[in-house]
Structure 1
Amino acid sequence: MKIDEAMLRRMWPQGDCRVAGLTSGVAAASASVFARYAITTPQLVAHVMAQISHECGAGRDVVENLNYTAARMMQVWPTRFRTLESAAPYAHDPRALANKVYNGRMGNRPGSDDGWNFRGRGAAQTTGREGYARLAKATGLDLLRQPDLVNQPQHFLACGVADFIACGCLPYAQADDVVGVTRRLNGGTIGLAQRKAWLAKWQAALRDAPRVASPPVAPALPQPQAGASRFQTLIAALVAACKRS
């Protein structure tokens, strides 16, 4: 299984707007990545690509945007910001906000810059020091020192699929259970309607993709009869070819 670049560009028309060459990198890597992680059927590819398409905004949202107003912070993290006054110091300060809401969990160290360094990135929006460490082990990439590697075109799909597998999504994808896949990857069902819509789009795209025809098998030449010359054998082959045409 692989993703055709022309198909991906139709599905992700702005796929290169944040990372140059992202769509071509994903397409080029798809055959080897899918083979490595046993994504071997159109159904599995559709589930993987549906979740990735939602998580990264079809290539438009490859790094978590933490530039919030105080009011929006109260909606997203109501237990952390109960009043506008408590949220105000972090308004439009993405680094401070990341460290405030992410440090002390997901493996991020309190009082460090881990919340910012390991904010959501990549095809599956990997978040937290633990998430990056798990992904580093699966891919062999030095993500703890270079977390931006998850957004390099040649690594983008591998990191996304490795996260998909590590989160335990594969059995649910095999059962065609989009709710189960979403819960494993997201920890809840945020964006479920959009994920279902992406799944339907990918299923249709893969179903309608043109199949590459197998090359025709050349007809076998007749075997020379005993006593026949090479010239006689060649004449017999030409006569047989004319009868087939």
Structure 2
Amino acid sequence: MSQSSFDEALTRLWPDGDRRIAGLRAGIVAAAPGVFAKYQITTPLLIAHVMAQISHECGAGRDVVENLNYTATRMMQVWPKRFPTLASAQPYAGNPRALANKVYNGRMGNQNGSDDGWIFRGRGAAQTTGREGYQRLAKATGLDVVGDPDLVLSPDHFLECGVADFINCGCLPFAQADDVTGVTRRLNGGAIGLAERKAWLAKWKAALGQGAAVTTDAPVIAAPSRATRQEPASADAASTASAQPAAASLVARFAAVLIAAFRRT
């Protein structure tokens, strides 16, 4: 797979990719060779899994910042324990900042009584959320996304931030096994949007010449909760990786070919 074929796939699958961030698609394409090599995303299969998850999380570039502009009724549906009555939800209706601090403070590294919930709301390719999530991303990438969270929205850094989150969450062993359900559970903390993620994977596989998505159930794993969805790869993920010799062999065989193809274009 060449860089030009990746560019063509991104343009086709993200037709509105530059709507929110000017030059986003060009930034992703330019960064792709270095980012994929750095994080060992070295086969078309792995690229398809990464891009499928990113495509879902950020709406193919259309939903790059979390929308917290909820009605009171919707808040009661999403956070029934926090908003058991209409009266409890009403003060936060149409007030995204107050809502973010209400539902996100006191967890994910956000401090109670602070503006952390709003400052560290979901952004970017993988919708990084929470002070701890941004701290882990900063450590992985070397970018000061804690001091300037909007760096994750830069066209130059957008792809790397999404890929780094993918790796930090322990998704790689499941992607190597072509297990979209397992990847989703690691990145999302559950299976929210699984059908849509499978559809995205099928699209990216077709675009990159990898065939259809696998839709079998994942092995039983201890999936992280939403509040800690950006945890680094755990021991269970590492053991799964060691149990996938065929996938590891595939990575080794394709690595040189893929990187060379990127560099030639």
For Structure 1 versus Structure 2, the TM-score category normalised by the shorter chain is 0.7 to 0.9
1:128 and 2:130 are equivalent in the alignment: yes
The structure 2 residue matched to 1:179, chosen from 168, 178, 181, is 181
Runs of 4+ residues deviating >6 angstroms:
none
Q: TM-score, normalised by structure 2?
A: 0.78
1:140 and 2:142 are equivalent in the alignment: yes
2:247 aligns to what?
none
Counterpart residue type for residue 179 of structure 1: T
Q: Shift in Å at residue 184 of structure 1?
A: 0.3
Whole-angstrom distance in 2 between the partners of 1:8 and 1:47: 14
1:198 and 2:197 are equivalent in the alignment: no
Offset from partner CA, 1:176-234 (integer Å, 9 cap, x none): 110100000000000000000000000000018xx98xx9xxxxxxxxxxxxxxxxxxx
Offset from partner CA, 1:107-156 (integer Å, 9 cap, x none): 00000000000000000000000000000000001111100000100000
1:51 aligns to what?
53
1:114 aligns to what?
116
2:18 aligns to what?
16
**Where does the alignment leave 5 or more consecutive residues of structure 1 unmatched?**
216-245
Whole-angstrom distance in 2 between the partners of 1:84 and 1:5: 47
Q: Shift in Å at residue 7 of structure 1?
A: 2.0
Q: CA RMSD in A?
A: 1.5
Indicate the percent of aligned positions where both proteins have the same amino acid. Answer: 75
Whole-angstrom distance in 2 between the partners of 1:23 and 1:77: 34
Q: Shift in Å at residue 9 of structure 1?
A: 1.1
The structure 1 residue matched to 2:69, chosen from 56, 67, 70, is 67
Q: Which has the higher contact order (CA 8 A, sep 6+)?
A: 2
2:29 aligns to what?
27
2:78 aligns to what?
76
The structure 1 residue matched to 2:44, chosen from 28, 42, 45, is 42
Q: Shift in Å at residue 6 of structure 1?
A: 2.6
Q: Shift in Å at residue 47 of structure 1?
A: 0.3
Counterpart residue type for residue 50 of structure 1: A
Whole-angstrom distance in 2 between the partners of 1:131 and 1:182: 17
Whole-angstrom distance in 2 between the partners of 1:74 and 1:42: 42
Q: TM-score, normalised by structure 1?
A: 0.84
SS at match of 1:10: helix
Whole-angstrom distance in 2 between the partners of 1:11 and 1:76: 29
Counterpart residue type for residue 118 of structure 1: F
Greater CA radius of gyration, 1 or 2? 1
Whole-angstrom distance in 2 between the partners of 1:145 and 1:32: 24
